[in-house]
Chain A
């Protein structure tokens, strides 16, 4: 809507699940081109936070806005043209080719009886190519490996052309080479086209490499700050409850158990 509004902003966001409080009052702004990593131990609420930001579940309190417009004022289809979401695991009980999966990303742009146009197919094929799975277009996704399916899911997200990409562990099932290739592709796209990324991550070296800001969930509350301040041995040791020390330098810096 407004050029100066952040792609995503939330104020006073509170998350509760099964009577447990995961976070009390999270304030977060994500600007165009920015990448935010959500980190924290198992069960701290990373998936819940990503799903809440995607509008899949209502927050216990607080507000969420896309491009300055409160979520409640956006119709389902409008939301689908603004934000895309990739779940932790793909779920395909029925046969579907990789191209069909990617084409599903065009759903919010097609009216009731419309079929996908040649331009939609091109968009889906280009998205598959971006993640190196173009040659798998005709394959049934249920016959692909976990990593290949993961890249097809990311391609479907890109085919949706969202301005806000919400990713729940986008690199699960990916080998180190494909982790870097996939996140390079996503962050380059975000910078080039002014998209914003919020992603839950387990690998701390990927947070170091790609995140501008970090949201740390410790199981009872959230803290947020610039990546450089949040990703230190002392803070991460406290967050994960296990001694962690820094290893490597620069972009290849990570944190390993002491």
Chain B
């Protein structure tokens, strides 16, 4: 078990080194390691420590948060196809962030996205419980409410794009696809990842049982209402932090937990750390490609996550299908 997690950690470290070495100025791996320690030419140290490292770390945290939130929501909704945005959280963030952009409040984009994401979560939970307290927050009700609320946000996003001046539309689209160019220096995703990840790990065995139904979890001693509420809050917070930093990057939260589950199984004590590391590594590599592939042009990283991840995921899926 520890070996598996260690292998994922090595992959993540490798991804970070690749990200630090690649760019408009290629730097060799030994030089990168020395520059991290503050040794070497000043410009090299500056490029590695001040330009590439913060962005790579932000990418890692966002990827880890999305994979973490996806893993939790797949269990909470008992659906391997759930992703962090399934309850409409990215739509809420997008409407708030795009509104801030439209009104020229660049500084307000991040706080707006965070507030928008959490507001959307509260709306979805409130509505899915509005019918009465008889069976609060059943997975199906939540999912349906989330999908419908997300559709509503989608309409508002289209409206904002339609009325926006042409000059702003490209920036808005980048945000919608997911982009890390402005992500640089933020402690927010790392703090959320540490807290949410820690609590999630403490509840990992509860997650194993919850994955097989709430009634079974109750009979095995899980305080289901309290634990599911806490898990939903963690997933919402993780997604909100990720969306705030990097816009709505698709695919990572859906596919990373799913793919990691195919490799390590469904024990969340292994799955959660492995998925966080894999999600982080994937997004770091994707962001490295996004800024080097057609340099000096930068691509939105969301395009890369989908282009890299789709074939990889389909490969895993067909392989596991052949096995049984």
Question: A interface vs B, CB < 8 Å?
Answer: 51, 54-56, 76-81, 83-85, 87, 90-97, 100-101, 104-105, 107-108, 110, 112-113, 115, 140, 143, 160
A107 touches B205 (CB 8 A): yes
B220 touches A105 (CB 8 A): yes
Contact status of A54 and B212, CB under 8 A, knowing A100-B265, A110-B205: no
Contact of B213 among A55, A91, A97, A100 (CB under 8 A): A91
5 sample A-B contacts, Cβ–Cβ < 8 Å, listed by A number: A54-B219, A91-B212, A95-B262, A96-B265, A112-B205
Q: Which among A78, A80, A94 has the highest number of chain B CB atoms within 10 Å? A: A94
Across the A-B interface, the 8 shortest Cβ-Cβ residue pairs: A80-B221, A108-B221, A77-B221, A85-B219, A94-B266, A107-B220, A143-B324, A91-B213
Size category, B interface:
20 to 34
> CA of A148 to CA of B158 in the docked complex: distance in angstroms?
51
B221 touches A140 (CB 8 A): no
CB distance from A16 to the nearest CB of B (A): 12
CB distance from B193 to the nearest CB of A (A): 19
B221 touches A81 (CB 8 A): yes
Residues of B close to A87: CB separation below 8 A: 213, 215-216
List which B224-282 residues lie within 8 A (CB) of chain A: 261-262, 265-267, 269
Question: B interface vs A, CB < 8 Å?
Answer: 74-75, 78-80, 202, 205, 208-209, 211-213, 215-216, 218-223, 261-262, 265-267, 269, 324
B218 touches A76 (CB 8 A): yes
CB distance from A129 to the nearest CB of B (A): 21
Contact of A113 among B202, B209, B213, B218 (CB under 8 A): B202
A104 touches B218 (CB 8 A): no
> CA of A46 to CA of B218 in the docked complex: distance in angstroms?
19
> CA of A51 to CA of B219 in the docked complex: distance in angstroms?
10
Residues of A close to B266: CB separation below 8 A: 94-96, 100
CB distance from A214 to the nearest CB of B (A): 24
Contact status of A84 and B78, CB under 8 A, knowing A91-B212, A94-B261, A104-B208: no
Contact of B221 among A93, A95, A107, A143 (CB under 8 A): A107
Residues of A close to B202: CB separation below 8 A: 112-113
A76 touches B324 (CB 8 A): no
Contact status of A95 and B265, CB under 8 A, knowing A87-B213, A143-B324: yes
CB distance from A76 to the nearest CB of B (A): 5
B209 touches A104 (CB 8 A): yes
